[in-house]
Amino acid sequence: MTTDSTNGTIPGRIRPRRLRASQRLRSMVQETRVTAEQLIMPHFVLPAEHADEAIASMPGIARLGQQELLRQVEADLELGLRSVLLFGLPAEVEKDPAGKYAADPQSPVVRATRSLKKTFGEELLVITDVCLCAYTDHGHCGILHEGHVLNDPSLPCLAAMAVAHAQAGADLVAPSDMMDGRVAAIRDALDDRDLSSTGILSYSVKYASAYYGPFRDAAASAPGKGDRKGYQMDPANVREAVKESLLDEEEGADMLMVKPALAYLDVIRRVREESLLPLAAYNVSGEYSAVKAAAERGWLDEAAIVRENLFAMARAGADVIITYHAREALRGGWL
């Protein structure tokens, strides 16, 4: 047998495989853990009292009416799933160029937030997506003028939406529009109305990604004309992710986010190292649907893949993970 200075003979005294010998040992020395407390379940909320519409491109996920949402959240709480992210799906007739209905006290998200907080109180953390694209008739995330999304005129609309959600009892509002200065505008609007304890989870790093495809199907929120590259980030960039995150931190964000997650693990790591704020990773619709589609065909083992993917996000530095897999992962004991 040969020898070397650090390890004696090869194979030698130091054998990493010893700690992999049994499940007991492996779980004891496991470096990263993903727990129910870290997971956030997204929901698509309809205005109807009763509705349950399957989403073809997202098996296992549905658009829910107000009552079905309450029941689903109640069942999820039993699994230890204590945080939700709400997306509103207003009727087509409510949409207009400015997305005014986004701030309406009768909007599906405002109503759902009110009844969730009334029913579950502190048991449940309610986070609401703040963006105009589901409420504008053109499908862009801000006010559109001659083919361009205007930045500053969009800010009051976003702030009004955030205020409506906060007044309904949202614990955190989560702006996903990518307008410059929206975190500051929302923070000021909340503070002016004695809503200083409502937090902001900023989608600070949101790429213009094809991974949002199934979501736009589910939420009917695809832009009618053009794309979102004028406001969402170029997938080629990472320094810009740091810049966006530090800006949002200065503007008063309480938590940051990187979205999507899996193709951006390096970005999660960078942002984790540059900011002290808690960081969320958004495991988006296309990432979910790709796993689902392959699993349905028997090409991938869903439980093992989901575990591997969620651990990758946590290992990269995500403190919190927003994922459509949350319910099944907990129910199945996949983590």
Q: Which residues bind ligand PBG (CB under 6 A)?
A: 129, 131, 133, 141, 176, 212, 215-216, 221, 228, 284-285
Residues 6+ apart with CB under 8 A from 72: 43, 64
Does residue 187 sit in helix, strand or coil?
helix
Partner from ligand PBG, Zn ion, none contacting 284, C-beta within 5 to 8 A by type: ligand PBG
Question: Contact residues for Zn ion (CB under 5 A)?
Answer: 131, 133, 141
- Catalytic-residue membership of 259: yes
Distance between CA atoms of 320 and 61, rounded to whole angstroms? 20
Between 119 and 329, whose beta carbon lies closer to ligand PBG? 329
Catalytic-labelled residue, pool 95, 206, 243, 292: 206
100 is catalytic: no
Handedness of CA 177, 179, 184, 189 (dihedral sign): negative
Cβ 102 to ligand PBG shortest distance, Å? 11
Per DSSP, the residues of 188-242 read HHHHHTT-TTSEEB---EEB--GGGHHHHHHHT---SSS-STTTSBPTT-SHHHH
Cβ at position 269, least distance to Zn ion in Å: 26
Give the nearest distance from C-beta 8 to ligand PBG in angstroms. 52
The one of Zn ion, ligand PBG, none whose footprint includes residue 212, by CB under 5 to 8 A per kind, is: ligand PBG
Cβ atoms of 203 and 257 closer than 8 Å: yes
Residue 245 binds which entry of ligand PBG, Zn ion, none, CB below 5-8 Å type-dependent: none
Cβ closest to ligand PBG, residue 110 vs residue 141: 141
Beta carbon of residue 224, minimum distance to ligand PBG (angstroms, whole number): 13
Single out the residue of 237, 271, 270, 269 nearest to residue 256, CA to CA.
271
Nearer to Zn ion, 59 or 226 (CB): 226
* Interacting partner of 129 out of ligand PBG, Zn ion, none (Cβ under 5 to 8 A depending on kind): ligand PBG
Does an H or E element contain 259, and which? strand 256-259
Residue 291: CB minimum distance to ligand PBG, A: 13
- CB closer to ligand PBG out of 67 and 265: 265
Q: How far is CA 297 from CA 36, 227, 302, 331, in A?
A: 28, 32, 11, 22
Q: Which residues are catalytic?
A: 206, 259
